[in-house]
Amino acid sequence: MLSIIILIVLLSSFILTGWFQNYSRQSNLLDHPNHRSSHSQPTPRAGGVIFVSIFLIGLTISIQQQWIIMPNIVFNRLLIAAILISGIGLLDDYYSIATQWRFLIQCIAVMISISSFSNLPLISIANHLLDLGLFSYLLYSFASLWLINLYNFMDGIDGLAATEAILVSITMAVLFLFKSQIELSLILGLLTASISGFWLWNWSPAKIFMGDIGSGFLGFMFAILILISAINDPIYFYNWLILLSPFIVDSSLTLIQRIFAKEVWYQAHANHSYQIYSRYLMQKYAQSVELNLARSLAHRQVNYLLIIIHLFWLLPLVILLNYYPQLDLILLIIAIIPLIIIDFWIKQIKCVK
């Protein structure tokens, strides 16, 4: 029965995303290219409204049917927070809401969601647990806000944010299944299915973008799922960090570099490593093929690189972590060091503007 529900979610996401991109074109609800854009053709935006809605409906049904057990007060607060994050993202997609108002709504949503937990995860370092007390609320609030925004920062080329979400979600779903955490596995199964239906339209050349509503929601959902799973076992915190490390490293280093360069760090830009590398590849491909095809090939190549990193670098480390949890911090450091090196190498590419 549960597998049928996930299949229905996948097909619904695919069909409704196709309908929404046609509706958006007919209504001229398009993202027009500018000097920061990685696309060259007007493209429907805010496609995330479909997979967000389908996921929340699927989650609500699963809770009502008691396939997922969650206290009503917890679910209601998380649902309100998710709607706030998605709502401000949707408004920003179409009306460009000022940064301070977006951040204010995000803060309110994070406070609502974190207030639903009676306790927060302990910090695990080499099998030693640290209780940060009240400071943990500040730490997890900041981390949640950062994850919401960094996911938005990383949604800049075709397919990348959706590909990362699918890779992370399906890996953690399988891990929770092996750990007999069936409810968490089901939540991630629903999330994977809802995103996958959209991803088929978002793959390069993208026919629709997820927009801030989609990227902000994904960052929020990962933040909440990290908290829920780490409350059960703090080691899950490291599983999530390792899998999300490509996005965390690129966003964090880029932000630090922009701050040191005295740039307006919260303004939109195209200086992330994945954007620089995509432009570099596009220039290479453009020497032998038409420009739009070169752009599409470049976007695909960056996605392929992300998939390779997950399958052949991060996934083995996650497997190793679950056999040797005492190596938690060491394995996280091992995971991110090559990504830092790659980031600095890409940032040295001077020919791409």
d(C-alpha 62, C-alpha 18), whole Å: 25
What is the per-residue pLDDT across 132-180, written as a single tens digit (0 to 9) for each? 888 889 999 999 999 999 999 999 899 999 999 999 999 999 999 999 9
- Cβ atoms within 10 Å of 52's Cβ, excluding its own: 28
Return the C-alpha torsion angle 292, 218, 250, 350, nearest 10: 20
What per-residue confidence (pLDDT) applies to 210? Answer: 96
- Read off the DSSP letter of residue 43: E
User: Up-side HSE of residue 255: CA atoms within 13 Å toward CB?
Assistant: 14
The amino acid that residue 84 corresponds to is L
* Inter-residue contact 278 to 302 (CB < 8 Å): yes
Q: Which pLDDT score, from 0 to 100, does residue 247 have?
A: 97
Residue type, 332: L
**Residue whose tokens read 């959706």:** 162
Residue 9 makes CB contacts below 8 A (sequence gap 6+) with: 54, 55, 58, 190, 193, 194, 197
What's the confidence (pLDDT) of residue 352?
46
Q: With H, G, I as helix, E, B as strand and everything else as coil, classify residue 125.
A: strand
pLDDT digits 0-9 by tens, 188-206: 999 999 999 999 999 999 9
Q: What's this model's pTM, rounded to 2 decimal places?
A: 0.95
What tokens were used for 204?
């390069």
The answer for 204, left when phi > 0, alpha when psi is -120 to 50, beta otherwise, is: beta
Query: String of b and e for 30-50 (b: at least 16 CB within 10 Å)?
Result: ebeeeeeebbeeebbbbbbbb
What are the helix (H) ranges across 27-98? 48-64, 72-95
Q: Which residues of the chain carry a pLDDT beneath 70?
A: 1, 34-40, 350-353
* Residue 95 neighbours by CB distance under 10 Å: 7
Give me the pLDDT at residue 117, please: 87
Distance CA 53, CA 48 (A): 8
Structure tokens, 275: 């954007």
